[in-house]
Amino acid sequence: RAPKGDISWVSLQVLAWGLRGLHGAVREPRLELQWEDQTLWTPVIKDFTSNPNFPTTTFLLTLALPEEEQLVPPIRLRVWDRGNRELGILMGQGCVRGLGRYRCRTPSLEQPPCQEQPPGPGDTGTGSYTVLSMPDPAQLPWEEGGWRQEDEEEEVDWWSKFYTALEDKGEIQWGTNRDRLKIYGCELEAVPEFQGLQDFCQTFPLHKPGGPPVPGQDPEPVGEFKGLFCIYSLPEEPGVPAPPQHFQQLPPSKPQDCLVRVYIVRAFDLSPRDVTGLSDPYVRVSLGKRTLGQRDQYVPNTLEPVFGRMFEVTTTIPLEKDLKVTLLDRDRLPPDQEIGSTSIDLENRLLSNHRAHCGLPTLYHTAGPAAWRDQLCPSRTLELVAVTRGLPLPEFSPDGSAVTFNHRTFLLRHFESGPPTFRHPGPPRERLALHVLNLCPFVPEHLETRPLYSSAQPGLEQGKLQMWVDVFPANLGPPGPPVNIDPRKAEGYELRCVVWNVRDADLGDTNLLGQRMSDIYVTGWLDGLPEQRQHTDIHYRSQDGHGAFNWRFLFPFEFLAAEKLCAIGRREHIWSLDKTVLKVPPKLILQVWDNDKFKADDLLGILELDLTKLPHPALTPTLCKAIPWEPCSIPWRWCRTQALAPSPINLFRMRRVRGWWPCTVQEDGAQRLSGKLELSLELLTAEEAEERPVGKGREEPNKYPMLPAPRRSKSSFLWLQSPLRLLRYGIRWRYCGWAGLALMAVLLLFLMHVLFPVSIP
């Protein structure tokens, strides 16, 4: 019976892959597909518990579809199980609407198969191969002599790629000679170019049979149907052959034994579960009947835990295809509270034509932290791609520097300007094959960000989890070594800061004779470690703002090189069992003070130095300015060019620096130069500090370097401790000597008149 309106005869090709998640005791289910008065029955699945896929997976129907999409009837799905009745027991039902999204263009006989457009929602896939849209080699963005490469100074681990990707905001830059990691801000299924990982077959939910669902509530799901539809228009001219079968070269429908590696990197924006506003999260991974993860491996007192854990489990897909990752909050007494969870369909990743089971790296390494971990080498993978997509096999040149693939020729010099500079490179054939694979629409080496949800608060996001999954079928052989993502531990360092001199400090006091002066001393500590505050001795009675100290500060700390942050562990409360780790920049804070005995000390200036971005010091106090990186004109008569600002100094690389830095104070909303500090900064590892011990201040062992007592003027002393020295050095007799002699003469005459009176006759 033809529907009303303008119609067109089409060929409906059905891929019925299998049934998943049917509840109850299912014996021999089969699927019924009904469109109007036409019905299609799939064969019975004989043993649903051992293989839930249909023995025959492709079917063909001829339909008369209306031209208007609103008039196209839906396809109704019903799952029946064997029972006493003729039809059996209805286990679940579903409906597929909007068949227009499955329309495909009829392939031309002169057109190569690789140019055929895939069907599905938004042209999502074919069930047999995905179109490889590859760039023309003449349009590749290489520069003259090849793409730009970068030299690698040292071998990096996975965390180096991670933090580099964070700085690059996850963008993979072509022409770079470093491993790149793509960070997605969503789950892999939500990335538009990967089509939900349902390009091979889609998942259609099956609901409980019965009356219409309650308004506002989703019907209860009882299982899933995995399949795909493809609609071709039939030719109107007689004698024209029908379109070819679309679903060809399908993978085997038997269950596959697989090795699954789950990498849990970190979580952030978690919902708190403790009264302190924090949580003690840990990870639990469930697949089938196996559960991995221990509650004693938790990260205390944080809402942004870094796990760095890898879980390895074997499974049989599709019998055990749903991977569940749960974050729980560890409490002193179980049961622990669930923070949130996320589920991943491993079957979609294994069957997807976007090769989502293992991400493609940027470079090919034969060993080291970034060693090739897939089961097939790049050249073998490229051959497998050609076979499954119906393309000719790739043809490599004898030396592996050229390959012809998908009717295009690629040269190794298109991607590499010279010999590889990274460590452990593979042969040219494999490197070129990997470069070509990276031009295909395949999933790169990545990190996906998955939202977490809790059944206690459905629909409300409880945080985000960054992770990735590798799936390795056992029939392809053993995989490569797993990636080591163990969290980097903070390394111990010791900062040795020697305060040599102070120049041009503000004079904050006035002595009895009206002279301006200051009793100068310097304090210092590392940001986040105020308990390590240290101070020099006091340079008394400085009347020109100069002070000499020769004083050494010692600041031990722990540093995370990848994050460029100091790790500080402390207990927030007395009753806290675990330390809370704070991460702060490695900043040295120095302050110049004026010492007072009967009131609070006066702050004369502040200097803050980031050890990873130190401004270049001045060689002399005269060249020291309020902004040390301020460009200055070169004092040559024949040159008025502005000097370029030098790049900051990373003390963790240079290890030692000495010079003059400016101290400033906030005044009228601006920074004013209030003094200059001569410092020497030396950074040592904890092991180096043990081998070369030194004392604080000028204490023993006084070496590396040896600090002599400072040369100060004789007037530099505390007047309360030496009042007689005050008479000698505190009063400037050169300016008031004659007045003092006259005063003493008058005093002497007065005493003689009192003691020896003269009688007047």
Q: Give pLDDT tens digits for 622-648.
A: 999 876 545 444 444 444 445 556 789
- Residue that is last in its domain, among 428, 461, 485: 485
Residue 36 — pLDDT band, cuts 50, 70, 90? Answer: confident
Q: What is the DSSP letter of 471?
A: E
Domain membership of residue 303 (yes or no) is yes
Q: Tell whether 450 and 516 lie within a shared domain.
A: no
Q: Tell whether 555 and 580 lie within a shared domain.
A: yes
Residue, of 581 and 119, whose pLDDT is higher: 581
Domain membership of residue 516 (yes or no) is yes
Q: Tell whether 681 and 583 lie within a shared domain.
A: yes
pLDDT digits (tens, 9 = 90+) for 438-480: 999 999 999 999 999 998 898 899 999 999 999 999 999 999 9
User: Looking at residue 218, what is its pLDDT?
Assistant: 66
pLDDT beyond 60 at 716: no
Q: Are 65 and 44 in contact (CB under 8 A)?
A: no
User: Looking at residue 212, what is its pLDDT?
Assistant: 54
User: Looking at residue 137, what is its pLDDT?
Assistant: 61
pLDDT digits (tens, 9 = 90+) for 261-277: 999 999 999 999 988 88
Q: Compute the 3-state secondary structure of the chain and give helix, strand, coil in percent, each to the nearest 5.
A: 15, 35, 50
Domain membership of residue 41 (yes or no) is yes
Highest averaged pLDDT of the listed ranges 51-55, 131-135, 578-582: 51-55
Q: Tell whether 497 and 473 lie within a shared domain.
A: no
How buried is residue 491: exposed, middle or buried, by Cβ count under 10 Å (0-12/13-18/19+)? middle
Domain membership of residue 658 (yes or no) is yes
- Residue that is last in its domain, among 432, 462, 485: 485
CATH number, domain of 21, equals 2.60.40.150
What is the percent of the chain where pLDDT is above 70?
81
Distances from the Cα of 307 to the Cα of 20, 281, 348, 669, angstroms: 32, 9, 26, 44
Q: Tell whether 339 and 281 lie within a shared domain.
A: yes
Q: Which residues contact 248 (CB under 8 A, 6 or more apart)?
A: 128, 390
Q: Tell whether 656 and 674 lie within a shared domain.
A: yes
322-329 and 408-411: which strand pairing?
unpaired
pLDDT beyond 50 at 194: yes
Range of the domain at 578: 491-626+648-691
User: Looking at residue 390, what is its pLDDT?
Assistant: 82
User: Looking at residue 37, what is its pLDDT?
Assistant: 84
Q: Tell whether 387 and 338 lie within a shared domain.
A: no
Q: Tell whether 521 and 592 lie within a shared domain.
A: yes
pLDDT beyond 80 at 298: yes
Domain membership of residue 121 (yes or no) is no
Residue, of 637 and 738, whose pLDDT is higher: 738
Indicate the SS3 state at residue 100.
helix
Q: Tell whether 427 and 567 lie within a shared domain.
A: no
User: Looking at residue 561, what is its pLDDT?
Assistant: 86
Q: Tell whether 548 and 590 lie within a shared domain.
A: yes
Q: Tell whether 558 and 680 lie within a shared domain.
A: yes
Q: Tell whether 473 and 433 lie within a shared domain.
A: no
What's the one-letter identity of residue 668? Answer: D
Domain membership of residue 183 (yes or no) is no
User: Looking at residue 130, what is its pLDDT?
Assistant: 43
Q: Which residues contact 138 (CB under 8 A, 6 or more apart)?
A: none
CATH number, domain of 414, equals 3.30.160
Domain membership of residue 145 (yes or no) is no
The stretch 597-608 carries a mean pLDDT of 91
Domain membership of residue 718 (yes or no) is no
pLDDT digits (tens, 9 = 90+) for 73-117: 899 999 999 866 666 888 899 999 888 888 886 554 333 433 333
User: Looking at residue 117, what is its pLDDT?
Assistant: 35
Q: Is the pTM of this model over 0.75?
A: yes
Number of domains in the chain: 4
What is the percent of the chain where pLDDT is above 90?
54
